[in-house]
Amino acid sequence: MPEKVQAKFTRIIGTGSYLPEKIVTNDDLAKIVETSHDWIVERSGICQRHIANEHETSSMMATEAAKKAIEAAGIKAEDIDLILIGTTTPDMVLPTTSTLVQHNLGIYGVPAFDFAAACAGFIYGLNIADQFIKTGTYKTILLVGVETMSSVLDWTDRSTCVLFGDGAGAVILQASDTPGIISTHIHADGRYKDVLYVPTGLPNRAKPGLLPYVHMEGKEVFKFAVKVLGDVVDEILAANNMDCADIDWLIPHQANLRIITATAKKLGLSMEKVILTVQDHGNTSAASIALALDRGVRDGRIKPGQTLLLEAVGGSFVWGASLIRI
């Protein structure tokens, strides 16, 4: 464990991502369920998604994304003193995905744990990492959002199977004397547990007639998401005495283009200031913001000194937002 020295700030110093090789287009899905490219695009903005093969597990994808983030950060794997993995689709119940990633990276002995916050997983992870770094407990943290959503999809249900994809996004966070994570605000409301859920995952706890697939009330999810995302954006800007003009980029959870457009409109931001991957990735749950962040960094749109607003909402319901200076 590193020497405990309290830090002023937490900064992202490297990003990375991994997407499965297999791409499934809307036209591909139209061959197995009653749907069409136009129907899917109109309702979600999604054109394609990446689907993992049997070897592309959550731990494998997380490891590959982590390697790219480590390289981008200019550090060695052994510099990492905590591993955080946000996922609701682990390889198995035990061992945890985080310890599998630790093994793959060869950095034994450092603490590693998984946490589940659905599509808000990356935002929750930023909050967790920020606390550990600001208290001086850890100095360099690997955070990965990863999902193999295809493992919990009913491929005969057109209302859900067209929406999701697989992938992993990673960041390296480090203690710093210069501002990085400005503020992170997270929330949850378990009253909405029946609006978006997977009913079972443990063999001896399965209820008759319920299969371990995503169940979703689409209209309710949409209404809830638009409201709480608007509220949390107002909350985080007010808490930091900032307004929309201070935001260089909006990096939203990539679930539905209509929700993203509504959030940007509320902020008064042009869609040219929004990092979009939903059309290419679909909803990758905990991985989506990290994947979009990595794309924006690597294609040069996101530049040092810029201020980013990240926001997400997911099943259960959980939601949150983070303000970050790159």
The catalytic position among 50, 119, 215, 281 is 119
Write out the two tokens for 139: 């100095």
CA distance 80 to 141: 6
Q: Is 161 an active-site residue?
A: no
The catalytic position among 26, 127, 256, 283 is 283
Write out the two tokens for 127: 């909050």
Helices (H) and strands (E) in the chain, counts: 10, 13
CA distance 133 to 173: 9
Q: Is 283 an active-site residue?
A: yes
Rg, C-alpha atoms of the chain: 19
CA distance 149 to 147: 5
Phi, psi of 283 (to 5 degrees): -90, 110
- Enumerate residues 6+ apart whose C-beta is below 8 A from 18: 61, 62, 64, 65, 68, 167, 168
Exposed e or buried b per residue across 81-101, where buried means at least 16 C-beta atoms within 10 angstroms of its C-beta:
bbbbbbbbbbbeeeebbbbbb
Residue 144 pairs with which residues in a beta bridge? 85, 170
Pick the closest to residue 227 from 192, 199, 184, 178 (CA basis): 192
Pick the closest to residue 128 from 146, 115, 119 (CA basis): 115
Q: Where does 221-291 show beta strands of DSSP type E?
A: 249-252
The catalytic position among 50, 185, 215, 253 is 253
Write out the two tokens for 285: 């749950």
Phi, psi of 182 (to 5 degrees): -80, -45
Active-site residue list = 119, 253, 283
